[in-house]
Amino acid sequence: MTSPAAPRTRTRRAAAAAVLALPALLVGCSGDGDDGQAGTDGAGAGGTGGSQQTETVALGIIPIIDVAPVYVGIEQGFFEEQGIELDLSAGQGGAAIVPGVASGSIDIGFGNNLSLVVASSSGLPLQVVASGVDSTGDPEEDPYVIVTADPAITRPADLEGRTVATNTLNAIGDSVVSASVRADGGDPATINFVELPFPNMAAAIQAGDVDAAWLAEPFVTIAAPQGVRILTTPLNDFTDVQIEVSSYFTSQQFASENADVLERFTTAIEESLAYAQDNPDAVRAALPTYLEITPELAEQVILPEWNTEVSEETFEVFTELAETQGLLDGEVDLDTLLAPVR
């Protein structure tokens, strides 16, 4: 359900220091990628974009479909052209990556926009530098869903009093599930949310450990043969805004100290986002290189949308939602958070 109002706003970005204190799926960007695994760089060992010095950027990501443009961009040489070598590490969710960026162990992170709103309310000096991924806005075909196997659960309000899994607590998953239940007339305060990795959720539902889960592709398609069905697409249940789920972000310190590097990264990621949106076959070909899925399954998954503009409407929606959820520690400073993209 895409809102016809308020065009999306875009801005050139500035960014800041990042630290990702997570167990790392660290993939050095040395450049050849002959093993077919994700995480090769865009610059190649010693390669540069023209006369620029090659710079290594530590990028914290989540191993889901949403970050496919990074791998497509590496394959297409967009990062190499800008003299950027990516050192990739994987986290469980945006709420986990935010502290890494804020502390400086990671230069740039990929994380959900609700977590960025919450971070802003806590005074963390973060700034959005590029759009990350969007919901499709289509309630019939969206990669962000609530799933269940319980025949007694037929609508979001039926999740009252149930146990629901999300990949990180007090973040986008439990917040949008709560919003969906609330919009359906239910009381989300009665839900018991538990934290589980996306790959473990279908098995937990089948075992009866949880009643439902907030799930994203490719795990939605993986879960289907296990008797798990889609209950709803919650991002379409409580707002008419087509939600920009995640963004690339950095710290104000990194932005001020590495303006040229950040500009080059932003150019490369925007080229990658545009190419991914226009070339879904390239996206599907990239998925098995960094996710444990077959090429056949990659052809079946529902893809999100990738845009080069940052949706200010989304940040306004998520600010209201985070306030309703009681997640805010103070005022949300969207002027500072979105300054580089305005």
Instruction: Decide which of 94 and 145 is more confident.
Output: 145
| Average pLDDT over every residue of 189-200 | 96
Closest by CA position to 302, among listed 233, 256, 244, 252: 233
Q: Is the pLDDT of residue 23 over 70?
A: no
Nearest to 299, CA basis, from 315, 288, 313, 307: 288
In Å, what is the CA distance from 255 to each residue of 15, 96, 247, 302? 3, 21, 15, 34
Cα 202 to Cα 57, 142, 174, 213, distances in angstroms: 34, 18, 17, 8
* Interatomic CA distance for residues 101 and 254, integer angstroms: 9
Checking if the pLDDT of 20 tops 70, the result is: no
**Could you report the per-residue pLDDT of 248-273, keeping only the tens digit for each?**
999 999 999 999 999 999 999 999 99
- Tokens for 14, please give them: 């500035």
Q: What's the CA gap between 162 and 144, in Å, rounded? A: 20
Per-residue tokens: 328:
């805010």
The pLDDT tens digits of the residues spanning 272-330 come to 999 999 999 999 999 999 999 999 999 999 999 999 999 999 999 999 999 999 999 99
* % the chain with pLDDT above 90: 80
For 45, the 3-state DSSP assignment is coil
pLDDT band at 37 (very low <50, low <70, confident <90, very high): very low
Task: Report the side by side order of strands in the sheet with 144-148.
Answer: 192-195, 163-166, 212-216, 144-148, 229-232
**End-to-end CA gap in the chain:** 25
All domains in the chain, ordered by first residue: 55-135+242-341 (3.40.190.10), 144-236 (3.40.190.10)
> What are the tokens at 227?
């008797």
Higher per-residue confidence, 5 vs 127: 127
pLDDT in tens, 40-67: 444 333 334 446 799 999 999 988 999 9
Q: In the structure encoding, which two tokens stand for residue 77, read together?
A: 């040489």
Mean pLDDT of 197-211: 96
Q: pLDDT tens across 217-234, in order?
A: 999 999 999 999 999 999
Torsion of CA 306, 268, 34, 60, to 10 degrees: -70
